[in-house]
Amino acid sequence: MIAVVHHPAYVASGQSANPSQLSKNAAIRDLLRAHGAAIEWHEPAAMPLRWLEAVHDPDYVAEVLAARVPREKERRIGFAVTPSVAARAAVVPGGTWLAGKLALERGFAANSAGGSHHALAATGAGYCVLNDLAIAAVRLAEEDARRVLVVDCDVHQGDGTAALTAGHPGIATYSIHAEKNFPARKARSTRDVALPDGTGDAAYLAALSETVLPMLDEYRPDLILYQAGVDPLADDRLGRLALTPKGLVARDALIGRAAAARGIALASTVGGGYGHDVAVLAEAHVRAMLTLGQAYRDARITGPAPLP
């Protein structure tokens, strides 16, 4: 059984500039429901204001919660922050935090949204309103875990998360991404792995293994917050790394096995995935959650397996 965090507000309307995001969360929810008793559902509360303001500028938080984000910031986000989008933004960080809490208790848990890694202190960016990864990491590091590691495998660098958590003694960040993709100006993660366009499965998995595994052993986190974006896929509208579905499954299996073999709790977020076929996107995201859960469970039983 996999613990999955979901809230009705995750299915927000109004993101017309990015239509794949409109119904992706609904499609993810419906596919997970089809797995019946294999999924254990958990509903989060909105993240308390003080934790939002611990990461974001209070004036920006107020703009978001009141759905009064200035037009120039909405342009940077990529869509209007309507009341339904604001409600979603308020509850998604609570979902990532709850997934982290559940993972610390059970080993693995998944948020069925989240991964908004481009949002910065005083503005959103790149389809991200509030940075749930940074907000949850700060709260978890200060309340529940001595060390939190954000592992970001989205095709785009986790610039906002790196910037917002820089200098926090209990948080480290890792990002493996396409060097020439958005954002044009990269932040500095604790460890960045920038890859050329068209990297492909074998080179990607080798780079991931050679960089993330030593970081797990050196940093020894209590919890990994995993940004499991599916946009490294070759057919993704915004991706460049040319991974196959098999390669993406191997990526997630590697992360799941590595965490479990080291006794590290693992909580995943959905992250990026862009295309016109919402069903295909949702299937990729659900496959990532199920792969992570299965790999984590198997490694607990049998120990780590070799790379595919």
Residue 220 CB: number of other CB atoms within 10 A? 13
List the catalytic residue out of 118, 156, 177, 285.
Answer: 118
Active-site annotation holds for 118: yes
CA–CA dist 125, 57 (Å, integer): 14
- φ, ψ of residue 178 to 5 degrees: the values are -80, 125
What's the rounded Cα separation, in Å, for the pair 245 and 247?
Answer: 5
* Cis? peptide before 304, omega within 30° of 0: no
Q: Please give the Cα distance from 82 to 86 (Å, whole number).
A: 6
DSSP string for 67-106: T---HHHHHHHTS---HHHHHHHHHHHHHHHHHHHHHHHH
CB atoms inside a 10 Å sphere around CB 241: 27
Q: Which of 93, 252, 84 is nearest to 161 (CA)?
A: 93
Instruction: Determine the Cα–Cα distance for residues 279 and 83; give it in Å rounded to an integer.
Output: 26
CA dist 74 and 70 (Å) reads 6
Active-site annotation, residues: 118
